[in-house]
Homo-oligomer: A and B are copies of this chain.
Amino acid sequence: MISFGPTEEQSVAREAMREFATRAMRPIARECDETASVPEKFLQSVWELGLTATQIPEAYGGAGEARSPVTNALVLEELAYGDVSLALAALTPSLFANVILDLGSEEQKQAYLPLFGGERFHAASLAMIEPSPAFDVLSTRTAAEPKGEGFVLSGRKSFVPLGDRASHFLVVARGGAGFGFDALDAFIVPRDAQGLTIAEPEKNLGLRALTTVGLVLDRVELPAAARLGGERGIDARRLVNASRAALAIALTGLARAVSEYCIPYAKDRVAFGEAIAKKQAIAFGLADMRIETDAMRHLAWKAASQLEHGLDATKSAQLARDYAAEECMKIADNGVQVLGGHGYIREHPVEMWYRNARTLGVLEGTVTL
Contacts and interface: CB of A to CB of B under 8 A. Distances in A.
Interface stretch (A136-144, A276-284, A358-366): A276-284
A284 B279 CA distance: 11
Contacts of A279: 280
A288 to B, nearest CB: 11
Interface in A317-341: none
A45 to B, nearest CB: 45
Interface string A276-300: 0001110010000000000000000
Contacts of A281: 280-281, 284
- Copies of this chain in its oligomeric complex: 2
Nearest to A278: B280
A303 to B, nearest CB: 28
A330 to B, nearest CB: 16
A290 to B, nearest CB: 16
A280 to B, nearest CB: 4
Interface string A253-283: 0000000000000000000000000011100
A307 to B, nearest CB: 33
A328 B279 CA distance: 27
A284 B281 CA distance: 8
A130 to B, nearest CB: 31
A271 to B, nearest CB: 12
A281 B281 CA distance: 6
A68 B81 CA distance: 59
Nearest to A281: B280
Contacts of A280: 279-281
Contacts of A284: 281
A338 to B, nearest CB: 14
A279 B280 CA distance: 7
A253 to B, nearest CB: 29
A257 B264 CA distance: 41
Interface string A12-52: 00000000000000000000000000000000000000000
Nearest to A284: B281
A279, A280, A284, most chain B CB atoms within 10 A: A280
A281 B278 CA distance: 12
A169 to B, nearest CB: 43
A157 to B, nearest CB: 37
A182 B284 CA distance: 50
A280 B282 CA distance: 9
A283 to B, nearest CB: 9
A107 B335 CA distance: 64
A238 to B, nearest CB: 32
A280 B281 CA distance: 6
A286 to B, nearest CB: 13
A270 to B, nearest CB: 16
A279 B282 CA distance: 12
Interface string A169-184: 0000000000000000
Nearest to A282: B280
A257 to B, nearest CB: 26
A192 to B, nearest CB: 52
Nearest to A279: B280
A165 B49 CA distance: 79
A280 B276 CA distance: 12
5 contacts: A279-B280, A280-B280, A280-B281, A281-B281, A281-B284
Interface of A: 279-281, 284
Which 5 residue pairs are nearest across A and B when measured between Cβ atoms?
A: A280-B280, A280-B281, A279-B280, A281-B284, A281-B281
